Structure 1
Amino acid sequence: MAKTDKSAAIAELADAFRGSNAAVLTEYRGLTVKQLTELRTKLRGNATYAVVKNTLTDLAAKEAGVTAFEGQLVGPSAIVFVDGDPVDVAKSLRDFAKANPLLVVKGGVLDGRALTADEVKKLADLESREVLLAKLAGAMNASLSKAVYLFAAPLSQAARTVDALRAKVETEGPAAAAAPQDTVEAPQDSAPADVQDAPAEDVATGGDTA
């Protein structure tokens, strides 16, 4: 490969590292062209599966500040450059590897943090971003429903009161609606009738006369 071609390839790989949400290093030794095409189809929309040259990839990774693959770029290598949901990509790799054991996940990098092969596999056990967003939306809708109910309850109560008054007016006339709903009882500690009817001077002197 000419020097200019190598420089261009390194620059392209470095840009791929920088522009990806994550990257996963794999070894594809023994996989057929058909199997690799199937893998690319599974990853489509979330990631790009690129067969790479180890030496150029090592230089490109260093240029992009990625150190996760140091010492692992040996044998037939291919890198999954993730531009979608890393969890979905990890699930696709796990499912494909179950059916095609020759695909070996060697490690990865996520948000600048190196991942071991086991950590990439554990990533596949997490819930995807879409599932988490759906759960969050469900929780928010439930909260909003409660809020709507609380706001609507006083309005419903007021509407029932207005309807009751309207029915009372229709049956008993306008005066009935204006009348107080509760009667006020006389205080329990009011004075006896005989004291109330006594002359003012008797009440003032306790009822004794000179």
Structure 2
Amino acid sequence: MDRAEKQDAIETLKGVFASSGAVVVTHYMGLTVAEMTDLRGRLRQQGAKLQVVKNTLAKKALDGSVGEAGDALFAGPVALAFAPDAVSAAKVATAYAKDNDKFTVIGGLMGQQVLDKKAVTSLASLPSLDELRGKIIGLIQAPATKVAGVLQAPAAQLARVMAAYAAKDAA
């Protein structure tokens, strides 16, 4: 890798760190190509990506902005899982780490904040953006259906009374 390629890789990583809601730092030692492909597919379904990085380039891209704690995450074979929202990459990475012993979550970065493994697991337990949108839509629609039910109830009762009188007259 020559100097220009390294500079391009650093700029790409700076963009990843800036545009991602959270970056999950993982170790992938011992994973097969098929397992990595499976993990990438799972991440892609959630709108996230996985990128294997060189530690020195990642540290240069961070430029000391997260301090020594952030730089300590980048040791050994590191892959970054990232997405525009803060939750999806963490969810998939922690779920995959539970299923596969060779894949481990080391920590993460959220803006200028360094997250440990426990914080990434907590982040993964939060609902995703799509789930939150669904809940909000459900909350918005619930009062409308209740109002429609309340407005419809007197008419239904009136119809039942009329049907009862008609049945009584017919008998």
TM category (shorter chain) comes to: 0.7 to 0.9
Structure 1 spans left out of the alignment, 5+ residues: 161-210
| Kept in 1: contact 2:48–2:88 (CA 8 A) | no
Q: Which has the higher contact order (CA 8 A, sep 6+)?
A: 2
1:51 match: 52
Q: Gapped runs of 5+ residues in structure 2? A: 159-171
| TM-score of the superposed pair, with normalisation by structure 2 | 0.77
Q: For residue 29 of structure 2, what is the aligned residue in structure 1?
A: 29
Give the distance between the partners of 1:86 and 1:28, measured in 2 at CA: 21
In 2, the alpha carbon distance for the partners of 1:111 and 1:149 equals 47
Q: What's 1:18 paired with?
A: 18
Q: CA deviation at 1:149?
A: 6.3
Q: Which residue of 2 aligns with 1:78?
A: 79
- What secondary structure is seen at the aligned counterpart in 2 of 1:122? helix
**8 Å CA contact retained: 1:43, 1:89:** yes
Q: Cα RMSD (Å) of the superposition?
A: 2.4
Counterparts of 2:129 and 2:138, CA distance in 1: 14
Q: In 2 relative to 1, CA 54–36 (structure 1 residues): closer, same or farther, beyond 3 Å?
A: same
Question: Pairwise mapping of residues 1-210 of structure 1 onto structure 2 (< 5 A)?
Answer: 1-45=1-45, 46-62=47-63, 65-67=65-67, 69-83=70-84, 85-147=85-147
Deviation at 1:144, TM superposition (A): 2.6
Per-residue deviation, 1:111: 4.2
Q: Equivalent residue of 1:86, what SS?
A: coil
Q: Which has the larger radius of gyration?
A: 1
1:202 is matched with none
* TM-score, with length taken from structure 1: 0.64
1:44-68 Cα deviation digits (max 9, x unpaired): 04211111100011001227x4556
Give the number of equivalent residue pairs.
154
1:127 shift after superposition:
2.1
